[in-house]
Chain A
């Protein structure tokens, strides 16, 4: 089932059109647009344990549950970004809904980014 209306709110996401390298070898991001999705965001913890093969810890990660799809980086498509508490987060993982269960919402993770991690 979709996320219950009482739990969700509108989340504004920055979505990018496909970018491209210019003739100097510099990546130029695509144009941005604001998209509203409905869902909820689990706040960032100091350190989050990701239970997956090999295990691991991650800092600066938020979990997002939405009725609509978010998009991680894929090819020339830059990842969706959203701002929470003055910090910018970039979606890096999106789990599709399980069609054979009654969980038809998307579960995504986004990692905090800042000027120091925007590339060099």
Chain B
């Protein structure tokens, strides 16, 4: 199984609704080509960037498949909008390291930590200022992927024959 973006989104969404008190339809994903949900709300970019942490770990299995364990650092961006944008975002920020929030991420092989301060990014909208606040959260993710031996190009065929007491009982055979 590769990176599960749905797990990351599930954890982020649960954390944000739990700590801000916003309903699920007010914590939305960015870039949906969809209208704003109406204030106050949070827009989330679940994967702003992804970085490899150390070397990927390769485990050679008995059947010659390779299990690769990936460790990644993923940055998510949390943007709050509305009259209390900073307050809402601060609630999410303050709750990030609480045990109940840690318990949301952990079963999904994820953990979350701060990656920035909260920034006031209030800006003009239709000629009037709209309150906005934003911060980044760093998610550590561990996930595995399997490469099948058949896909590695290590061999095209297998040849076997009997030896010892089996000599002559198993003729030389080639399997492609």
Contacts and interface: CB of A to CB of B under 8 A. Distances in A.
Contacts of A119: 31-34
A87 B53 CA distance: 43
Contacts of B33: 27, 117-119
A24 B24 CA distance: 5
Contacts, number: 42
Interface residues on A, range: 10 to 19
B32 A27 contact: yes
Contacts of B9: 24
Interface of B is mostly: mixed
B83 interface: no
Nearest to A79: B33
A19 interface: yes
Contacts of B69: none
B27 A73 contact: no
Interface string A100-120: 000000000000000001111
B35 interface: yes
B44 interface: yes
B102 interface: no
B23 interface: yes
Interface of A: 19-27, 73, 75-76, 117-120
Interface of B: 9, 13, 23-29, 31-35, 37, 44
The 10 A-B residue pairs with the shortest CB-CB distance, nearest first, are A23-B24, A27-B34, A21-B25, A119-B33, A25-B28, A119-B32, A27-B32, A120-B31, A25-B27, A21-B37
